[in-house]
Each structure stands twice: as structure tokens, then as C-alpha cells.
Chains A and B, each alone.
Chain A
Amino acid sequence: MAELTQNEKRLLAALVKEHKADAPHLATLLDTTPEAVIQWAHLLEDKGLVRHERMVDKTFIYTDEGKEYLKHGLPETQLLKFIRNDTPLVELQKHAAFRIGFGQLRKKGLISVNNGVVLKVGEPSTADDEAALKNPRAGGQRTKDLIKRGILQETESVQNTVSIQPEGLALAKQGLDLREETGTLTRDQILTGEWKNLNLRRYDIAKLPRRVYPGKTHPYQRLIEEMRQILLEMGFTEIYGDIVQSSFWNFDALFQPQDHPAREMQDTFYLKEQAPLPTGWEKVRDMHERGGETSSTGWGGTWNKKKAEQCVLRTHTTSLSIQHLAANPNPPVKAFCISRVYRREAIDPTHTPEFEQLEGIVMDKGVSFRHLLGYLKEFYGRMGFEDVRFRPAYFPYTEPSVEPEIYVDGLGWVEMGGAGIFREEVTAPWGITYPVLAWGLGVSRVAMLKLGLKDLRLLYRSDIEWIRESPVHRDQKVTKGGRK
């Protein structure tokens, strides 16, 4: 049984004596306003302890003008008494009631005027109006007229009655503690020990409070942090770089031929700006044209320096990885990067022109394709994807290449990123002599899976309601925490 506030208890106690009473009376008894009594009555009524009835009566009151007419009669009545069979108008105008009475008598067709003489029409009488004045009737036509003329006013008189119910009586019988209750403790009460004598009001813990939302990092950012954590724990160094890259670092250094479809302006955001090529760029040219010093045939053709200088918004994080390797050609290298990349794609539910990509590289003496598969299994395992399988794939800068697939309940085997060993054509120009294992994945796609999103755009144009409701710690099995 929910707790009663002190006021509820007082009202209930009063009704034990009165059984049934109207609000103003109870207000007087309880030293409060009728409005407060009604409020408390409602609280008790919710608990089935009392019944509150509200009756609305339409009544009429007389305005000051109306009170006058009640005593002396309506102006038209008064004027009518004055009229004989042919009273001159000028005479009539002297009468006090002329101003209003004359117009009324004319309107009602009780008199007519002819050549300055006022004549009665038939046997005129204002008896009906007088009757309506003395006993106004709701809805009556004459009553309505009197209201219009400002003689009567319509009011509602509301009567609120509260009566105790059997359950209320029963509860009262058990005894009501009417002592004054304390809400918030004051400093004094705490310090002086006065609190020992106080009756602390009980609050209803069944009632949910207004929700409070903590400040939070974005759910997507939290996922990115999880991945960062995994890689840092595995001993990887985080790399960072500019969004703007030359085609040289974004494509050519990765052995992507200059006529590759991905380099077309349909797929890549080109910029007007050019960037100078780094020292050693000739080795990359030689690699493209003839395969350099390796067993490669190269792409053949002529390599265009101007094309390589053209700047783009980086299309993959691999452009940062190769620069890191070029600056750190000696083993061991374990590096990663999670950052934004850009593809020229129209925005729709599964594509955005910018999104996050993760890249990890390992360069060491003696690393092999077998180890690459090992890193993939380890990494996806730590992300919560225990079932991983591997399929041959193709990327322009890796050989061998592999596409990992993870098993997702409800979706089956889902392709998740790509991996491979950097081709010798990629690493040789920078004096890197040991194999480089590399893997990458679109982080936004993983986010859609893990956060249960159907629309990629929600990551970047977020509904704060979603952020507010996304718990910081996700229970992998249950969708929503909070009070049952």
C-alpha cells in the first residue's frame, strides 16, 4: 500500500468525522484552500480511499442594472405605463426610461410613431419579459436576450464534495500518524541532533524520477576506442597523418597503376593542389615501368610524374602506413591507424563519402602469410568475433591477399575487411627487405553491426536521443538495461 502524505492523512481523518463534505467546508477545517483539498482528495481517490464528486450548476446573477430593473421593472415596462393612446413623442422623451425603453418597445413592435405621436399597437404587454427577469431559465430565448442586454449574467456554480469510502474508513481505523513530517533536513537539524525527534516523510519509491543523462563519448567513438585498445595491447604503435596526400603516396607508392579505375575522378576526390615528390621517387617510377630490381615485370608503359604530384583526399589509411614504413625501414615495425578516409560516393543508407578505416601492419624478419592469418584471427577474436574463415582475394598492393569472413548470428558469413602481404614492388623502393603483413577494415561497417544500425548516416548525423539511450557498457546479450 503506497504511503500517504501528511496532508492526505489529515483529509482522511477529517472525513472519518464528516463522512461527506464540500471542499470549502473541509478547507476551513484543515486551514487550507478548497483547491488544495481537491488535490489531496484526488490523491486519496487514486488509492480508492475517498470519492470526489464535482457538480456544475448553471445559475444566473443580476448585474447592478439588473438589480435595478428587478425593483422597478424593465425600462420598457416603465415607459409603457406612461404612454396613453396618443402621447406626443417630445413628452415621452422627458421620461427617464426613454433612452432604452423606447428602442425596446419599438423593437418588440409594441408601439409605433406617426407624425411625432406615439401610438400603442394592440394591447401591448411586457409581462413575459418581466417573468423571465424574475425567473430566468437556462436556454430560454428571453433569458438570452436579458443576458445580451447585460441585465443577467450566467455563471456556473461548482460544487466539490468529498466522501469517504469503506477502504478509507478501514485504513483510518488502523490508525493515522498525523505528526508533522519533515522533507529535506536542514543543516541545523543535522548538527543539533534535532533529527532524532523528527518524523521523516516517506517518499514513494515506486515512482520513477525524471531521467538524468550523463555526458558521454559517442557510441561510435567508444567502438573505435575499443579497437585502439586491442591494438595497443598487442604492442602496436599508433600513427597519424594528413588527410591531404599526393597521388604518389596514396596510389603510386602502393603500386597502383596510373590507369587503375580507382584513380579516376569518379571514385576519388581530387584537389587542385600539387605536392612535391619525396626523395627516392624515381625508384617508384622504375618499379612501375620495369619492375625495378625485383623479379617483377612492372606495369610497363611510361610513368607520369605530374599525375603523381596531384593531391587527393586520402582514399585509404594505407597511404599513411607506407609512409611510416618508408621512415622506419628496419624491423620490427608494428603500427596501426584508425582514421577517416574519403571516397567519392553519394550519401545513402550504406555509403558515406567519408568513413573510418582501420589499418594494421607488421614488418619483421621471418613473418609470413601464416602469421598474417594468425593476426587476423587474434584481432577479430578480441573484437568478439570467434568464428573467422579465410578466402583468397585480390588487392593491387598485396600478394598473397586474403578476405576474412566472420560469422554473425542472423547474417551468416560476412566479409569483414581485407589483408595481404605488401607486394615486393611496394616495399623494395624504400629499402624494406622483410615482409610486411597488412590488414584493414571499414570501421563504420563493424559499427553498424555492433550498434545495430541500419543507416550509416546516423553515425555522423546523430540523433542525440540515440546517444542518450546508448549505454556506455553494452551487455552483449541483452539489448536494454535499466529498471524492469
Chain B
Amino acid sequence: MAIIGLPYKYLKRLTGTDHETILARLPMIGSEVERQETDHADVEFFPDRPDLFSVEGVARAMRGFLDIETGLPRYTVKPSGIKFTIDPNLAAIRPYLGSAIIRNLSFDEESILSIMGLQEALHWAVGRGRSKVAIGIHDLDTIKPPFHYIASPRSRKFIPLDFERELSMDEILEKHPKGRDYAKIVKDFPLFPLIIDNENNVCSFPPIINGERTRVTTRTKNILLDTTGTDKKAVQVAVNIICTAMAETGAAIESVEIDGVQTPLLAPVERIVSVRECCDLIGVELPATEIANLLEKMRFGAQPVGRDTVKVQVPCYRADIMHDWDIFEDVAIAYGYDKFAVEISPTFAIGRAHPVYTIAAQVRGILTGLGYLEMMPFTLTNERVLYDAMQRERSSRVLSLMHPISEEQTVVRTDILPLLLEMLQVNKPRELPQRLFATGDVIEDMRTTQRLAAASIHLNADLSEAYACTDAVLRELSITYIVQESKDPAFIDGRRGDIIAGGKKVGVFGEIHPAVLNAFDLEHPVAAFELDLRAVPGYPYL
């Protein structure tokens, strides 16, 4: 999500209407007003609408939405006569280039910040942090065309933005803040991308930093825009968004010749869409003329063709239109999400609970019937709690996270009982007796299965209690079982049993070993058990 600052005065100048009206309707185009200050508002837009990441873009959209100026915005582009060459050695490094010349600008501090804001927002939304697209803006009058996008030796020196002396490109990656931030995008290449003018002055080192020479100031009147990157579409869309935003302020856009082709053209893309498909998707019956009308409010060009189709011109700055349905969403937005006559569909189906959850609900019933309180501990834990504190051997079959967020969550639990003992520890100050249970997922060898664990702590908790409870639960779940002496080190030797059902060990019960009590800082005996719910007859997935 990108947050854009919208100054009221400027917004009014661009739209011709007051900011209260605009802010009231802005959410209905797809945004959230974060805060309203005395002179501006901060608004959040979604990452699929980078064309709204500037006041100019917002104003353009709202003029349509509020019926002030509808239809496709038209931008004229004259050839500048300037050429921009691409070094074929960049093909494996950073192959795509977009560019434009923008003239007749009048910058004040606010508008410089605005265009830099747009640049950064585009880097984030479209550029994936500059790797897909990086944007450079240069004072045109400080450099001489034609311009060259080359693959340069890493040792090449120039004065980067904000610095006073020359650094080599390698040094910039180490010493310049932007160099450190984005070094990983280029550092493994033998040559670095570089944009120079005809007199070998450095304009920029994409995607890292511009040269100090071409710094944009309040005196800048004309701009060279460059976009470079690894995605051809993204590179072009970035140019389109910036050029059209600047054109909204009255600047003149001129194209540049790259590889014999004039660019940008800022021309719309045409699509022919089906009226039937649109009405079926959004659930409102609209004739072709109305659909065209609504699309014009969203700044598309749209003309009905007969009764069944609409010809649509998609503005060059709309990065999000990939499929006909993207256009239909705009029809719905223009129609107004608050205008729909909502009702559920007549789809008939009979509800059915999943057996895993039905069994879980029964288990809860049994344990609450025995007076136990339910806990819902985390499934993420660590090996100290899961194994060491339980005196159990660490298992190699436990699922580990590749990049844990903390030492406390490094693996997914294979048992629930350790987490339950942790819950007893958390509740030490509370009145005894405490009887807690938990049922839920564990992961063994990547498969998710369900367990039940229960623990009872008080002055007289003992094996009898653990056994009686376990027996009650197994009876209520219709599990036929036998008991064998257990070797589980979490329990006291001579006070522990393995539950065997269907010839397999499905659980364990007993009195918790005092070393384990110490590890969890517990002060009274604990009677506990754990059961694998796959032992329940009729359990799915075996």
C-alpha cells in the first residue's frame, strides 16, 4: 500500500472542486483516507493502481469519477529529435530502457517532493524495489544528447548525487547509502549499467543513483526521464505514468528514439469487451451505452458497438488491465458499490461438517465433562520446550523453519503436551487445581494430524488420576486399547503407560517427571496424557 499526500490547494486547482467533496468520494474509487490535516490529506492506494500515486493522477481519476471531465485523456507527444542508444552487452544485465523528454516545467519545493514521491512509490509498486524497474530524473539542460545506456567497467568514476567527490561504481555500492541498499541487484555482474551523455558525463548508474551533475532543482525547466529494468512492460508503464502525470500539470512531452523507435507514444491500448460477460459478472443488467458511459467516468475511452460489445481504449498509464474482467471491475466501481441490490444466490447445497472437526468437538465435550478448561497454544515452538525440557531426545523428523523470526519459534510442534505444560507455567499465579486440555494440529514428516493433550496440576495429582482420565477418554471415544510400561522420559519411571490400540502406540499417560516440572518451573505434581486422534474409529486419513 502506498500513502500519497494530497495538498488541498493543488487538488482544487487540478480538479476544479473542493477537497471535502473529493475526500468524501475517494474511498469509493478504491482507497483509504488515513488522516486529514489542515492543508493536506494522506491517502492510501492499492499497489495495482500506480497511476494514482501522485496528486495529478488522483485529480485526473476524480475528475472522471465526479463527472467533471470524462473519457480518455489525450496526450500529445512530439518527437524531440533526441536519440538514446542501448549497449547490447546489457542484454544479460539490465536489458530494457524507457525514456522521454519533459519540457516547460515549473518546479517548486513541493512539486519536486511530489515527483520524487511518485518515483519511490513506483519503485515499490511496479519496480519490486528497483530490480524490475528503476527510474531516473535528470535536469536536461545540464547534459548533451544523444544519450547512451552502456555496460560500463566497474571502476568508472563519477560524482554521485549528494556527494562532493568522485567515487568508482564499486565504491558507490559500498559507501553510498543507496549503493548499500540496492547493491544486490547488480553486484554480481562483470559490468555495471551506466547512462552517459554525448560528452561522457554520467547521468546515472541505474538502479543505484544519479550523478550529482543532473540534479533537479527549482530552476529546472526540462527533464530527461530514464527508466531501466528487467521487465519490458514495467519499464514502459513507469514512463507512461510519469509522463502523463507531468502532462496534467501542463508540461510538454517529447519522445526519444530508442533502437529506431519513437517512445513513448502514450497511446491507449484497445480491447473489445462483451456486454453479456460484463453484466453476468457484476450481476447488474446494463445496456452497452450505459457500460460505455460508466467506463468514460473511469477515464477509459468507450464506444458501444451494436448491443453486444463495447470498444474500450485503455489509457497508457493503467498498469493493472490484464484481463477483460479488470475493465468490468471499473464498471462496477463507476456504478457504485453502494448501489447494488444485494442478495445471496439461490445456490442450494446441504452443509456438512468435516469429520476431523466433528471429532474435535466431541473430544472437547468429553474433556469439559471431566472439568477441564481448554487452551489453544501456538503450534510454533522451539526444540528446548519440545524436547529438552521434556527430557526427550530431539527428533530429526521435526519440521524446521528456514528463516525463523525468533528463537522462540523455530519448529512446528510434534506434540502438544509440552505446550500445555508451558501454559501451566504461564498460569502459576492462578488458583489450584488447574486442569487444562488442548486439541489441535501437530506436524509429523510434513503431514498434519490431530492430537489431544491434557494436564492436571494440584497437590495430589498422581498416576491414578492420569490413568482414570485417560481411560475415561478412550472409552468415550470407543477406542479399544491395552496398556504397556512406557519408556517416555517425560514421565516418572513406574508411573507411566503407553496406550496401544490397533497394535500401535497411540498415546502415553502418567505422572510428569520432577525434572520436567523443574524445567517448567512448576511446583506441584502433574498428571498428564497425550493421545493421537488417528486412533479414533472412523478418523479420516490413515
Q: Are A and B a genuine interacting pair, yes or no?
A: yes
A contact residues vs B (CB 8 Å cutoff): 213-218, 220-221, 225, 228, 231-244, 259, 261, 265, 269-273, 275, 291, 294-298, 300-301, 311, 313, 331-334, 340, 342, 344-347, 352-354, 362, 364, 366-371, 373-378, 389-394, 399-402, 415, 421, 423-425, 435, 437, 459-465, 467-468
Judge whether A243 and B345 touch: CB under 8 Å: no
Judge whether B280 and A392 touch: CB under 8 Å: no
List, in ascending order, chain B residues with CB within 8 A of A354's CB.
378-380
Report how far A399 CA is from B330 CA in the complex, Å.
10
Report how far A457 CA is from B485 CA in the complex, Å.
38
* Known pairs A370-B343, A400-B325, A462-B375; A332 contacts B402 (CB<8 A): no
B326 at the interface (CB under 8 A from A): yes
B352 at the interface (CB under 8 A from A): yes
Report how far A463 CA is from B424 CA in the complex, Å.
10
B174 at the interface (CB under 8 A from A): no
List, in ascending order, chain B residues with CB within 8 A of A394's CB.
30, 46-49
A5 to chain B, nearest CB (A): 29
Q: What are 30 A-B residue pairs whose CB atoms fall within 8 Å in the complex?
A: A218-B376, A228-B353, A234-B344, A235-B349, A243-B412, A244-B443, A259-B132, A261-B128, A265-B402, A265-B403, A270-B402, A272-B402, A295-B323, A296-B322, A300-B233, A331-B347, A353-B405, A354-B379, A362-B345, A367-B345, A370-B340, A370-B341, A391-B337, A394-B30, A399-B329, A400-B281, A425-B322, A464-B430, A464-B436, A467-B373
Judge whether A391 and B344 touch: CB under 8 Å: no
- Stretch from B77-85, B138-146, B260-268, B360-368 at the A interface: B360-368
Cβ-defined partner of A215 (8 Å) among B354, B370, B380, B400: B370
Judge whether B28 and A392 touch: CB under 8 Å: yes
Judge whether A291 and B323 touch: CB under 8 Å: yes
Instruction: Map CB proximity to A onto B17-48 as digits: 1 under 8 Å, 0 otherwise.
Output: 00000000001111010000000000000111
List, in ascending order, chain A residues with CB within 8 A of B354's CB.
237-240
Q: 14 additional contacts, CB 8 Å, given A217-B364, A238-B353?
A: A214-B371, A215-B371, A221-B374, A232-B352, A300-B232, A334-B347, A362-B345, A368-B345, A369-B340, A400-B328, A401-B329, A460-B378, A462-B375, A468-B373
Judge whether A400 and B282 touch: CB under 8 Å: yes
Report how far A468 CA is from B430 CA in the complex, Å.
11
Cβ-defined partner of B426 (8 Å) among A225, A334, A437, A461: A461
List, in ascending order, chain B residues with CB within 8 A of A460's CB.
376-378
B231 at the interface (CB under 8 A from A): yes
Interface centre among A300, A301, A373 (most CB of B within 10 A): A373
Report how far A362 CA is from B347 CA in the complex, Å.
8
Judge whether A368 and B322 touch: CB under 8 Å: no
Report how far A427 CA is from B325 CA in the complex, Å.
13
Judge whether B323 and A271 touch: CB under 8 Å: no
B234 to chain A, nearest CB (A): 9
A145 to chain B, nearest CB (A): 49
B contact residues vs A (CB 8 Å cutoff): 27-30, 32, 46-49, 128, 132, 231-233, 271, 280-284, 322-326, 328-329, 332-333, 337-338, 340-345, 347-354, 356-357, 361, 364, 367-380, 399-403, 405-406, 409, 412, 423, 426-427, 430, 434-436, 441, 443, 446-448
**CB-based nearest B residue for A468:** B373
A261 to chain B, nearest CB (A): 7
Judge whether B374 and A218 touch: CB under 8 Å: yes
List, in ascending order, chain A residues with CB within 8 A of B435's CB.
215
Judge whether B399 and A244 touch: CB under 8 Å: yes
List, in ascending order, chain A residues with CB within 8 A of B333's CB.
392, 400
Report how far A415 CA is from B351 CA in the complex, Å.
28
Report how far A468 CA is from B369 CA in the complex, Å.
15
Report how far A364 CA is from B280 CA in the complex, Å.
12
Judge whether A424 and B323 touch: CB under 8 Å: yes
Report how far A115 CA is from B370 CA in the complex, Å.
91
Report how far A437 CA is from B177 CA in the complex, Å.
46
List, in ascending order, chain B residues with CB within 8 A of A437's CB.
345
* Known pairs A215-B372, A464-B434; A269 contacts B323 (CB<8 A): no
A407 to chain B, nearest CB (A): 14
**CB-based nearest A residue for B449:** A242
Judge whether B369 and A215 touch: CB under 8 Å: yes
B538 to chain A, nearest CB (A): 15
List, in ascending order, chain A residues with CB within 8 A of B434's CB.
464
List, in ascending order, chain A residues with CB within 8 A of B446's CB.
242, 244, 273, 275, 311
Report how far A238 CA is from B361 CA in the complex, Å.
14
Cβ-defined partner of B322 (8 Å) among A269, A272, A291, A391: A291
**CB-based nearest A residue for B369:** A215
* Known pairs A390-B337, A467-B374; A221 contacts B364 (CB<8 A): yes
Judge whether B48 and A270 touch: CB under 8 Å: no
Report how far A296 CA is from B402 CA in the complex, Å.
35
B382 to chain A, nearest CB (A): 13
Report how far A265 CA is from B401 CA in the complex, Å.
11
Judge whether B30 and A393 touch: CB under 8 Å: yes
* Known pairs A242-B448, A340-B441, A467-B374; A392 contacts B29 (CB<8 A): yes
B347 to chain A, nearest CB (A): 4
Report how far A47 CA is from B133 CA in the complex, Å.
87
Judge whether A369 and B283 touch: CB under 8 Å: yes
**CB-based nearest A residue for B403:** A265
A290 to chain B, nearest CB (A): 11
Judge whether A240 and B356 touch: CB under 8 Å: yes
Judge whether B345 and A225 touch: CB under 8 Å: no
List, in ascending order, chain A residues with CB within 8 A of B400's CB.
271-272
List, in ascending order, chain B residues with CB within 8 A of A311's CB.
446
Cβ-defined partner of B231 (8 Å) among A244, A300, A392: A300
Judge whether B325 and A424 touch: CB under 8 Å: yes
Report how far A216 CA is from B376 CA in the complex, Å.
12
List, in ascending order, chain A residues with CB within 8 A of B332's CB.
369, 392, 400
List, in ascending order, chain B residues with CB within 8 A of A463's CB.
426-427, 430
Sorted from nearest, which 8 A-B pairs have the closest CB atoms? A370-B283, A368-B283, A215-B368, A392-B30, A394-B46, A400-B329, A232-B351, A371-B345
**CB-based nearest B residue for A344:** B405
Report how far A463 CA is from B47 CA in the complex, Å.
40
**CB-based nearest A residue for B328:** A400
Judge whether A237 and B322 touch: CB under 8 Å: no
Report how far A366 CA is from B343 CA in the complex, Å.
13
